[in-house]
Amino acid sequence: PVMRDPQSGMWMVFDYAGVQRTLSDWKMFSSQRGRPQGKDAEHALSTSLISTDPPRHRQLRSLVEQAFTPRQVRALEPRIAELVDELLSAVQGTGGMDFIRDFAYPLPVIVIAEILGIPASDRDAFKRWSDAVVTGDPSGSREMGAYFARLIEQRRVEPGDDLISGLIAAQLEGEHLDTQELLGFCILLLVAGNETTTNLLANTLLCWQDAPDAHAQVLADRALLPGTIEESLRFRSPVQSMFRVAAQDVELGGQLIPEGSPVLAWIGAANCDPAQFPDAGTFDPARTPNRHLAFGNGIHFCLGAPLARLEASVALGAVLDRLTNLRVVDTPLEPIPSQIVYGVKSLPVT
């Protein structure tokens, strides 16, 4: 359950109890230590909320949390339903589509872009940038950084009712966030919120392909959809691993992890731990309880979880209603080349 990978020198944690502790015990497992620091766009993500420990983490989180309460998120439902309708209407009757390119990718991008107040004309560039950020290509971060820096300056002069304007006005202990911190929020929301939700939608189709009975059951009874989404999050977790650094010597799973060691908590493995999930290899939408760790655990628990769940429920509900004969085309699928993000690059369906 806990081992040191001799090649990378990284400690790997696989079991449910160990992953839960690694993610939540921030005194022992830091999100901040060892992150490259710097005041430029390339470092905006590694100095953002997700890469900070308390007390800084608590301050930053309280600023952005207001925008993502379950109530605020619920208010987005009619707009999400409208977008889902537009996207599905554009492909309905064409006989097939790439589920990712035509549906699962654009939906979360448009939603987060509207929350941030990004003009519709600029959305296409995001796919390139967020892909580049996820695969570690610095040119993507630079381009995205330059774009957001311009947008932030514009909003300083002409505030709107979007999240960026709200964050500019927000104060942290009497001080405003600086441009670097604002940039960190924008890039984090875009990166954390897009690819993950895209993959949740597409991975659910793959779950249905593996378990046609579960697909037939939810087609017949929509009340099974929330359980289906939770089980998809467990079974094909869009985020497979999260990084920490041991803040002290720490014992975990009978091993001593020395202070300063890099640690990778394998969410995808924990979510298949038979000690926590009986019959873990079966896709079971009726699984109760289903305490998966797909959104993390503890203080860094996914800020966007209510939004991701809402998008998935509206989007997959519409897919079930409108595309009753939907089938994944039987063709080899190419995985996204990442240790963190789990999904496929494209998903042809008929």
Residues of this chain that interact with ligand HEM (CB under 6 A) are: 23, 31, 49-50, 61, 112, 188-189, 192-193, 196-197, 200, 238-239, 242, 294-296, 300, 302-304, 307-308
Q: How far is the CB of 283 from ligand HEM (least distance, A)?
A: 17
The residue with its CB nearest to ligand HEM is 304
Smaller CB separation from ligand HEM, 60 or 211: 60
SS3 247: coil
Q: How far is the CB of 336 from ligand HEM (least distance, A)?
A: 14
Contact 22, 244 (CB under 8 A): yes
Q: How far is CA 25 from the centre of its chain?
A: 21
Q: How far is the CB of 20 from ligand HEM (least distance, A)?
A: 11
Distance CA 340, CA 73 (A): 26
| Cα end-to-end distance, the chain, whole Å | 41
Smaller CB separation from ligand HEM, 131 or 221: 131
Contact 267, 240 (CB under 8 A): yes
Smaller CB separation from ligand HEM, 41 or 242: 242
Smaller CB separation from ligand HEM, 87 or 200: 200
Contact 252, 18 (CB under 8 A): yes
Q: How far is the CB of 57 from ligand HEM (least distance, A)?
A: 6
Q: How far is the CB of 315 from ligand HEM (least distance, A)?
A: 11
Smaller CB separation from ligand HEM, 49 or 344: 49
Q: What is the largest CA-CA distance in the chain?
A: 60
Distance CA 96, CA 168 (A): 43
Tell me which residue of 56, 37, 64, 47 sits closest to 183, measured CA to CA: 47
Contact 249, 258 (CB under 8 A): yes
Q: How far is the CB of 233 from ligand HEM (least distance, A)?
A: 6
Phi, psi of 97 (to 5 degrees): -160, 165
Tell me which residue of 72, 83, 20 sits closest to 306, measured CA to CA: 72
Residue 217 token pair: 């059951």
Q: For residue 183, what is the enclosing H or E element?
A: helix 179-210
Contact 265, 320 (CB under 8 A): no
Smaller CB separation from ligand HEM, 106 or 193: 193
DSSP state of 178: P
Q: How far is the CB of 45 from ligand HEM (least distance, A)?
A: 11
Angle in degrees, 0-180, between the axes of helices 77-91 and 106-116, rounded to the nearest 10: 140
Smaller CB separation from ligand HEM, 179 or 198: 198
Smaller CB separation from ligand HEM, 114 or 210: 114
Q: How far is the CB of 196 from ligand HEM (least distance, A)?
A: 3
Q: How far is the CB of 189 from ligand HEM (least distance, A)?
A: 5
Instruction: Find all residues with CB under 8 Å of 302, minimum gap 6, and list them.
Output: 192, 295, 296, 308
Smaller CB separation from ligand HEM, 25 or 210: 25
